[in-house]
């Protein structure tokens, strides 16, 4: 993992989370701009996976390969699943769900980097 990039993705995701919660406070259902924000985070996460896979092929080894890959896959699934669940009922609660999902991403990145740094779980 490239620490700088991971931090940047985490911060971007947090920014979108703040944006979502501001919309929740203003009683707004999720609209296209916010969903575009989530899509950008998803692309950044996809790039993160590519970077990690390249580093793994290059010989880098995390503390636990299984755990690391689980976090890697999990980080790609959070936003799409949350979006499907949110858009089934387009209210301010849907916007809140997207906010929660965006907070989850930095948590996953933090745990992922701990595992990358040698932690076993």
Partner 1 sequence: MVRVPEEAKQTTEEQPATASGPGRVLIAIYAIFAVGATSRAAVQIATRFDEAPIPYLLSAFAAVVYLLATFALARKGIGWWRVALAACSVELAGVLIVGTLSVFDTAAFPDAAVWSNFGMGYLFIPLVLPVVGLLWLRKTHPRSEAEITRTRR
Q: List interacting residues with partner 1 (CB under 8 A).
A: 64, 66-67, 70, 74, 78, 82, 85-86, 88-89, 91, 93-94, 96-97, 100-101, 104, 120-121
Asked if 1 and 116 touch (Cβ cutoff 8 Å), the reply is yes
Alpha-carbon distance 28 to 70, whole Å? 34
Nearer to partner 1, 56 or 103 (CB): 103
* Least distance (Å) between residue 65 CB and partner 1: 11
Closest to partner 1 by CB, 57 or 121:
121
Minimum Å distance from CB 96 to partner 1?
A: 5
Residues 6+ apart with CB under 8 A from 45: 9, 75, 76, 79, 105
What's the N-to-C CA distance of the chain in angstroms? 16
């Amino acid at each position: 993992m490239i620490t700088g990039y991971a931090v940047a993705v985490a911060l971007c995701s947090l920014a979108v989370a703040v944006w979502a919660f501001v919309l929740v406070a203003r009683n707004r259902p999720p609209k296209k701009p916010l969903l575009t924000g989530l899509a950008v985070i998803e692309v950044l996460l996809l790039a993160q996976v590519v970077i990690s896979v390249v580093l793994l092929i290059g010989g880098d080894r995390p503390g636990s390969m299984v755990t690391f890959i689980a976090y890697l896959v999990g980080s790609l699934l959070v936003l799409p699943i949350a979006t499907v669940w949110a858009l089934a009922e387009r209210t301010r609660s849907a916007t809140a769900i997207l906010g929660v999902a965006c907070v989850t991403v930095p948590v996953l990145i933090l745990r992922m980097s701990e595992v990358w740094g040698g932690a076993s779980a």
